[in-house]
């Protein structure tokens, strides 16, 4: 029995603490994934300006799209949670030489896929902006859950 205990102690000492636990490996993978996601989101973060054409009558409006990256932390672990896109979409109507503000939508959530350069921004429960985005431009469609395609947007980076 003493030999068995001695062998067990020697085995434990020789093995020591594992280099990294499954939890540590999981946290590292999560951090790397979140860093890659945040980097992709940083590509499209910024201010864009351009025009919006209504599908219904081809009316032209000026728009300003502000996109920012938001990332909360888990209060228990302190690890970063998934990044998301927030911001606003402001619509203006040009009358003579004045730009008159019409409406502003808050971006409540969104995502961006850097590989396909596709962006999706949720403006509210009924409106979504979907389309193509690079770091320099956004070509998108404003979709309504009620009417379908509402408008087309052609925007260029301002900042």
H helices of the chain, in order, are: 2-15, 22-44
47 Cβ contact list (under 8 Å, min separation 6): 64, 65, 66, 67, 157, 158, 159
Q: For residue 94, what are the β-bridge partners?
A: 99
Find the range with the poorest average confidence among 66-75, 118-127, 147-156.
66-75
Instruction: Give the per-residue pLDDT at 72.
Output: 77
Each residue of 5-58: pLDDT tens digit? 666 666 666 565 555 677 777 677 767 666 666 677 788 889 999 999 999 898
Q: Domains of the chain, with CATH numbers?
A: 45-157 (2.40.128.620)
Contact 134, 117 (CB under 8 A): yes
Each residue of 112-143: pLDDT tens digit? 888 899 999 999 878 999 999 988 999 999 99
Instruction: Give the per-residue pLDDT at 114.
Output: 84
């Amino acid at each position: 029995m003493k030999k068995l205990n001695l062998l067990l102690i020697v085995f434990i000492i020789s093995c020591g603490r594992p280099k990294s636990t499954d939890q540590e490996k999981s946290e590292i993978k999560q951090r790397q994934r979140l860093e890659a996601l945040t980097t992709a989101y940083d590509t499209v973060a910024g201010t864009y300006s351009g025009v919006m054409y209504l599908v219904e009558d081809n009316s032209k409006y000026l728009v300003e799209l502000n996109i920012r990256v938001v990332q909360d932390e888990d209060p228990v672990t302190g690890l970063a949670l998934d990044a998301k896109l927030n911001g606003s979409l402001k619509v203006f109507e040009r009358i003579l030489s004045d730009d008159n503000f019409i409406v502003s939508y808050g971006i409540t959530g969104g995502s961006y896929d850097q590989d396909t350069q596709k962006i999706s921004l949720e403006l509210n429960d009924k409106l979504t902006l979907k389309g193509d985005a690079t770091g320099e431009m956004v070509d998108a469609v404003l979709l309504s859950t009620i009417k379908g395609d509402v408008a087309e947007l052609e925007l260029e980076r301002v900042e």
